[in-house]
Amino acid sequence: MTENIQLNSKGKLKHFLSIEGLNKTLLTEILDIAESFIGMNDQQIKKVPLLRGKTIVNLFFENSTRTRTTFELAAKRLSADVLSMSIATSSTSKGESLLDTIRNLEAMFVDMFVVRHGISGAAHFIAQHTSPHISVINAGDGQHAHPTQAMLDMFTIRQFKQDFSNLRVAIIGDILHSRVARSQIQALNILGAAEVRVLAPKTLLPSHVESLGVNVSHDLTSGLKDIDVIIMLRLQKERMTSALLPSESEYFKCFGLTEAKLKIAKPDAIVMHPGPINRGVEIDSKVADGPQSVILKQVSNGIAIRMAIMAMAMQKQGAAE
């Protein structure tokens, strides 16, 4: 099970593959440790020696800007050596299997894999087949999970709202194809949010979505009422196998976040987006760049959260003891 493979014999983090199976205490510990790293942004030397002598491999089989860059910065700020693999020019493009790639990298005495892959379960597969001393961090797998993105979102929410117990959160958009949404819903429920609401057209919702622990609405006018946190999602057109929407303009008309629609939510509601943003499709530029937007704050927080998770997974450095 997920909870067994992610934790060591002492119940501490070994791998970080999914939010599912983790508890509130562990998620709060991640947030608290990330908080201790935030102050480094103001220091002249932005480094701590927690992972000095360790080698971390960024194994990205999908394109990424924010995630890959923040993982690289996070590892370097922990004083680790970082190897970022260009998969398009690696041996996997010549027919080498994923397991052979992992075995060859293990022979170079690495300590951690950060994996982004288009197939759901790829990070779990690597964690199950890698050497016992190696930790695996899931940087997004298929439509399954993106746990570090969810945790940086939780960290951002806590910065602005402090307590989860009274919060009503709306996640809007392409829930069906979003690995981020699944991880966000799991994290919000574990941390005790008062309500998680998903707003989307029926064609962009998974079947039995209510079983995830959410309330469903197909109308922004009613769905944004009493909301404290709005999380917009990107339309993942590359994952859509058929025409699920009439047009992007029609989608924006019904589900795009504008200044007028934002006023339906609470006056102090914050607006989030995991990126990349499609302006004029999911969100109006005036909202994305407006005073209630914390989108760039999310990007900044990604470094501290990923530092915390990597440090915790390397237990013997003492970061999580």
Decide if 66 is catalytic. Answer: yes
Decide if 94 is catalytic. Answer: yes
Of 50, 113, 40, which Cα lies nearest the Cα of 321? Answer: 50
Between CA 267 and CA 271, with CA 270 as vertex, the angle to 5 degrees is 120
- Which tokens in the block code for residue 186? 């799991």
Residues 272, 229: Cα–Cα separation, whole Å:
8
The answer to whether 169 touches 134, Cβ cutoff 8 Å, is no
The catalytic position among 77, 116, 144, 197 is: 116
Decide if 68 is catalytic. Answer: no
Residues 217, 13: Cα–Cα separation, whole Å:
36
Q: Is 119 exposed, middle or buried (0-12, 13-18, 19+ CB in 10 A)?
A: middle
The catalytic position among 12, 66, 76, 239 is: 66
The catalytic position among 94, 208, 241, 316 is: 94
DSSP letters, 257-315, are B-HHHHTTS-TT-EEE--S---BTTTB-HHHHTSTTB-HHHHHHHHHHHHHHHHHHHSG
DSSP letters, 147-213, are HHHHHHHHHHHHHHH--STT-EEEEES-TTT-HHHHHHHHHHHHTT-SEEEEE--GGGS-TTGGGGT
The catalytic position among 146, 168, 197, 261 is: 146
Of 152, 215, 220, which Cα lies nearest the Cα of 184? Answer: 152
- Which tokens in the block code for residue 267? 């006056």
H/E segment holding residue 32: helix 24-38
Of 102, 117, 47, which Cα lies nearest the Cα of 75? Answer: 47
The catalytic position among 67, 70, 130, 156 is: 67
Q: Which residues are catalytic?
A: 66-67, 94, 116, 146
